């Protein structure tokens, strides 16, 4: 009974009354509920925080890896750039050296061409002088050498045009008595010279009397390598006649003829 009286004496709080701490009872209950909710909220956010922490660590590690890779690539690029510069420098040096060598070689070639041109010019000049000397020497020799009286000079040879006639053997003996021989024709120029001075048929120092068909010049000139002025179809030993001596007829061409016939004599010997 006394206890009930005790509790009876306690005056109940009114809704508008505050406790000694200045807090209302209803308010006090609400704050406690909020603290419990906060504790529950903190308990729910911890896994998220760990997850975020792990994610940040992974991101940091990835960023570090990317940074390391980028730094490695930059280093490689720098090394490649340095190698490229070294190779470019070497290449430029080689090109410069080759250009200098080519320029030097070109200069040498140009100098050699100039020297060759000068040598060619000197050679042409020497050839012209030699040609001139070759023309003048025979003239000088011709002016030095002479022929006896009644002999006609042509080049370095002397010719005697006799007005008498004889057979071939007698004509050759007549020429031999004057240290000469029947005329021997060595070129077309000599043939033309003789033709201008004689308008009748005349003996030449050519025969095959020693062996039929084996024609020989009296001075030993090789018949086969020398010029020939046979008329068409000559020599032919006409009608099987023994024609072993050569004669020049009025047509200016050679014919084989009987050595016993008589023809004009032309003797020839070197000028002295």
How far is 235 from 245, CA to CA, in rounded Å? 10
Delineate the domains of the chain, giving CATH numbers in brackets: 152-270 (3.10.100.10)
Q: Model confidence over 228-268: pLDDT tens digits?
A: 999 999 998 776 678 999 999 998 999 999 999 999 999 99
Q: Model confidence over 27-80: pLDDT tens digits?
A: 444 455 555 555 555 554 667 777 777 787 888 787 777 777 877 777 777 777
Residue 191 has pLDDT above 90, yes or no: yes
Question: pTM higher than 0.75 for the full model?
Answer: no
- Contact, 271 vs 146, CB < 8 A? yes
């Amino acid at each position: 009974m006394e206890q009930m009286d005790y509790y009876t004496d306690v005056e109940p709080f009114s809704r508008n009354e505050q406790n000694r701490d200045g807090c209302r009872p209803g308010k006090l209950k609400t704050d406690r509920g909020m603290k419990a909710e906060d504790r529950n909220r903190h308990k729910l956010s911890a896994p998220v925080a760990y997850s975020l922490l792990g994610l940040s660590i992974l991101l940091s590690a990835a960023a570090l890896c990317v940074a390391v890779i980028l730094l490695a690539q930059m280093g490689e690029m720098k090394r490649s750039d340095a190698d490229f510069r070294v190779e470019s420098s070497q290449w430029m040096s080689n090109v410069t050296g080759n250009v200098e060598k080519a320029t030097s070689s070109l200069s040498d070639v140009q100098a050699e061409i100039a020297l060759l041109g000068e040598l060619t010019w000197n050679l042409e000049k020497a050839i012209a002088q030699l040609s001139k000397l070759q023309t003048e020497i025979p003239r000088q020799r011709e002016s030095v050498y002479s022929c006896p009286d009644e002999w006609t000079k042509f080049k370095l040879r002397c010719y005697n045009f006799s007005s008498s006639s004889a057979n071939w053997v007698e004509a050759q003996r007549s020429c031999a008595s004057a240290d000469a021989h029947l005329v021997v024709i060595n070129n077309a120029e000599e043939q033309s010279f003789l033709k201008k001075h004689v308008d009748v048929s005349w003996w030449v120092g050519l025969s095959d009397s020693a062996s039929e068909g084996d024609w020989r010049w009296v001075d030993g000139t090789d018949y086969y390598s020398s010029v020939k002025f046979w008329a068409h179809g000559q020599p032919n030993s006409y009608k099987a006649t023994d024609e072993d001596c050569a004669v020049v007829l009025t047509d200016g061409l050679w014919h084989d003829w009987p050595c016993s016939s008589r023809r004009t004599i032309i003797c020839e010997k070197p000028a002295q």
